[in-house]
Amino acid sequence: MEYQINKICCIGAGYVGGPTMAVISDQCPEIEVNVVDLNVSRVAAWNSNDLSSLPVFEPGLADIISRRRGVNLFFSCDVEKNIALADMIFISVNTPIKTSGIGAGMASDLKWVESSTRQILKHAKGKTIVVEKSTLPVKTAKTIKSILESNIDNLTNSFSILSNPEFLAEGTAINDLTNPDRVLIGGEDNYAINALINIYKNWVPNEKIITTNLWSSELSKLSANAFLAQRISSINSISAICETTGSNINDVSKAIGMDRRIGSEFLKAGPGFGGSCFKKDILNLVYLCQYYGLNEVAKYWQSVVNINSWQKERISKIIVKNLFGTISGKKIGIFGFSFKANTNDTRESPAIEICKALLEEGAILQIYDPKVSHDSIKRELPANDELERPQNDKCGHWIYSTTSLESAKESDAIIILTDWDEFRNYNWKKIYEVMRSPSWIFDTRNIIKNPNHIKSLGFNLWQLGIN
């Protein structure tokens, strides 16, 4: 016997819940998909007629929303009703690092997972498949199971728990979801596993759908992120050696990546990895290792995070050093604030720590990003009135710029922090004309492919892993 999934409920309408459910609704028109969230303004934004104001910017997402919303895809705050109606519930809530208590700064804060699970226990009806979509510490399924099995008096309801981690990357979410490298399903109950396989089978080839036990699935997700981040820290560590030895990081990356055993992906040196997950997932892995007494393993993965912090610090120092050792009162144009191109997400963006370090030194930052709003930057940087004032010879503050030219105006330097395509096609002559001399470009993403042209315009140019 196979479960017929008619109604899905997804708890959490965030970067994962929104796009993932949009794609499921698009690929499975016969299934009704309800995405629920407690955040009223986020739900309102998902329901907005203005598709440019959806809470998540992802290429291709708005098209799917316009096709499916109101047909078989719905966003609402009605958590109770949609849990009660669902045959399958995805838990897609946030799992940030704990900020206090045991494991603070390292362990995942599972309070949102626990509260969603309790909501499921209270409102679900009949047989319900609960799918972990959030990234979770190994053995979380056990916690979810204990909560869901705690109501021993209710004999009409039953639950099966699956782990189905999400591997999408922001900026390419729709493509990653429609053409995944693999779909991973961990579980013990074959009926439930098959029900989920049947959903993915609508568009994912059989050989790409793999099944494991719950713990392997949970651990595979943490390990995949740790491996990807480790490659970035490795190449960033080599970028520092390039700068001191006259090697070129782009050439080194290419030479390494052409070895089929290594591969060319994730070898792009930069200002450090950002995003809401890499750091938290590695720290979570470190915490897990420490918990199980695997201290050498914990130290190994911790070093990936340490190199990432060091990369941001060393870039900030290089900028100050080149601008004659002081940036107090100097205007600096920041090009790019999101953690990578094609997303409006700023969580853990390397731009945050680099901007904070420059503000500490008293710089006046004029920040421009093609997709990041003023409000998002406000959430990440200290308010201007909290920054130290002139008595300490410091006057750091930041300004939001709506164009790159505004950001460059009267500045001594441009710092490229995100690899947005539009930066590659700029008329740098025009930018040079509005800046103060000597004018610098610090290209932390190596997007400038013709350094001689830039230098011929009068700029001083620093590129990561090259000079």
Residues carrying an active site annotation = 277
Stretch that binds ligand NAD, among 9-17, 207-215, 232-240, 416-424 (CB under 6 A): 9-17
339 touches which of ligand NAD, ligand UGA, none (CB within 5 to 8 A by kind)? ligand UGA
Helix axes 214-245, 295-322, angle to 10 degrees: 40
Q: 116 vs 446, which CB is nearer to ligand NAD?
A: 116
Q: 280 vs 356, which CB is nearer to ligand NAD?
A: 280
Which of the residues 155 through 184 are near ligand NAD (CB under 6 A)? 166, 168, 170
CA 14 from chain centre, in angstroms, equals: 11
The verdict on 44 binding ligand NAD (CB under 6 A) reads no
The verdict on 39 binding ligand NAD (CB under 6 A) reads yes
Structure tokens, 446: 């190596």
CB within 8 A of 76, min separation 6: which ones?
34, 35, 36, 43, 82
The verdict on 38 binding ligand NAD (CB under 6 A) reads yes
Instruction: Name the pairing type of β-strands 158-163 and 183-187.
Output: antiparallel
- Residue from 62, 93, 110, 367 that binds ligand NAD (CB under 6 A)? 93
Residue 89 CB, nearest distance to ligand NAD (Å)?
11
CA distance 174 to 177: 5
266 touches which of ligand UGA, ligand NAD, none (CB within 5 to 8 A by kind)? ligand UGA
13 touches which of ligand NAD, ligand UGA, none (CB within 5 to 8 A by kind)? ligand NAD
Residue 385 CB, nearest distance to ligand UGA (Å)?
30
- Residue from 8, 9, 10, 12 that binds ligand NAD (CB under 6 A)? 12
The verdict on 95 binding ligand NAD (CB under 6 A) reads yes
> Do 369 and 399 meet the contact criterion of CB atoms below 8 Å apart?
no
Residue 270 CB, nearest distance to ligand UGA (Å)?
3
Residue 113 CB, nearest distance to ligand NAD (Å)?
8
CA distance 104 to 394: 33
Polymer length of the chain: 467
CA distance 361 to 122: 53
Alpha-helix runs per DSSP H in 149-213 = 173-178, 190-200
Residue 228 CB, nearest distance to ligand UGA (Å)?
5
# residues contacting ligand NAD (CB under 6 A): 28
340 touches which of ligand NAD, ligand UGA, none (CB within 5 to 8 A by kind)? ligand UGA
Structure tokens, 71: 């047909």
What residues are paired with 127 via a beta bridge?
158
> Do 220 and 184 meet the contact criterion of CB atoms below 8 Å apart?
yes
73-76 sheet: strands from edge to edge: 73-76, 32-36, 7-11, 88-91, 127-132, 158-163, 183-187, 209-212
Binding site for ligand UGA (CB under 6 A): 135, 166-170, 225, 228, 232, 266-268, 270, 273-275, 277-278, 339-340
Structure tokens, 278: 């890499």
- Residue from 106, 110, 249, 277 that binds ligand NAD (CB under 6 A)? 277
The verdict on 143 binding ligand NAD (CB under 6 A) reads no
Alpha-helix runs per DSSP H in 258-362 = 278-291, 295-322, 350-360
Binding mask 247-276 for ligand NAD (x = CB under 6 A): -----------------------------x
Residue 261 CB, nearest distance to ligand UGA (Å)?
17
3-state secondary structure of 131: strand
> Do 83 and 89 meet the contact criterion of CB atoms below 8 Å apart?
yes
The verdict on 123 binding ligand NAD (CB under 6 A) reads no
Buried b (16+ CB within 10 A) or exposed e, 409-420: bebbbbbbbbbb
* DSSP 8-state secondary structure symbol assigned to residue 35: E
163 touches which of ligand UGA, ligand NAD, none (CB within 5 to 8 A by kind)? none
The verdict on 75 binding ligand NAD (CB under 6 A) reads no
CA distance 247 to 444: 16
Q: 11 vs 365, which CB is nearer to ligand NAD?
A: 11
> Which residues are at the interface with ligand NAD (CB under 6 A)?
11-17, 36-39, 42, 79, 92-95, 112, 115-116, 119, 134-135, 166, 168, 170, 276-277
